[in-house]
Amino acid sequence: MLQLSVIIPLFNEAESLPELHAWIKRVMDQNSFTYEIIFVNDGSTDTSWEVIEQLAAQNPEVKGICFRRNYGKSPALFCGFKRAEGEVVITMDADLQDSPDEIPELRRMIVEDGYDLVSGYKQKRYDPLSKTLPTKLFNATARAVSGIHNLHDFNCGLKAYRRDVVKNIEVYGEMHRYIPYLAKNAGFTRIGEKVVHHQARKYGTTKFGLDRFVNGYLDLMTLWFLSRFGLKPMHVFGLWGTVMFIIGFIAVILLGANKLYALSAGIPARLITDSPYFFIALTMMILGTQLFVAGFLGDLISRSSEQRNDYQIEKEI
């Protein structure tokens, strides 16, 4: 088995690829590692794929995957993980902002220190303030929701994984930001962090806009909900549906009892339907019923899913 697999997703990074490959190769040769470099071309419109083909023709360790169109970083990582053969898997960006010199120490932390995953932490960043401030807020939220309090930079592209981790998680949509959370949900809880060197971009421009922060929060909420209730939707929808129905039903009973009391006492009373509380109570009963049915349907779907008994087994005797 190879000691290392280096997976590099990229989009329009033709200028940086030869320099990045030479840098990785120099580090690997200095440490006598057996390795492979997997470039995943995410539908680039420049000459990135031609550069990868040239590198592969001259270097047997270079492998490539080319998408027909731009799918995103998560699909690129998913395909790279699927193909990786190394004992330790390293992911890094192609823009030369991640330093390959960090690879030996990242590998050591996996192999010797026993971590399942080690995430880079760009403590000193060369990014504009418009990017660093939202990043800090995003990471603070991710720590609170995921419960992984020792990570400062969830979205750092430079990470190291034990092989079992990448073979037992599914990265989809834009979930690459939350790979540590995905790993934790899969039972890989030995998650560490290493301060890494961050360099200013040398070629091209960033491929990510401010919309990634909005999408990032939505994905985080999705992942939190799926991790808590993905296999038991009735526990949340059924619970709140029942609570809402009961409150609405009690309110209707109270309105009816108040009307009967007024009639029996000879007190003039307006119609129940003239009261706004009646319609509020009726709405709560309807919404409660809908939530309960949604939970019931979710449970039926969950029970028929092929992944309903997909448990992570670490060891067997």
Categorize the per-residue pLDDT at 231 as very low, low, confident or very high, splitting at 50, 70 and 90: low
The CATH homologous superfamily to which domain 4-229 belongs is Spore Coat Polysaccharide Biosynthesis Protein SpsA; Chain A (3.90.550.10)
Query: Contacts from 252-261 at CB under 8 Å and sequence distance 24+?
Result: 252/278, 252/281, 252/282, 252/285, 255/281
Name 179's Cβ contacts closer than 8 Å, sequence gap at least 6: 77, 117, 159, 169, 171
Give tens-digit pLDDT for 276-309.
888 899 999 999 999 888 888 877 776 665 555 4
Task: Give pLDDT, residue 315.
Answer: 47
CB distance 181 to 223 below 8 Å = yes
pTM value is 0.72
CA proximity to 156, closest of 170, 166, 142? 142
> Which residue shows structure tokens 């490539």?
64
> Which residue shows structure tokens 């037992």?
168
Cα–Cα distance measured from residue 159 to residue 177, given in angstroms and rounded to the nearest whole number: 11
CA proximity to 117, closest of 146, 67, 86, 159? 159
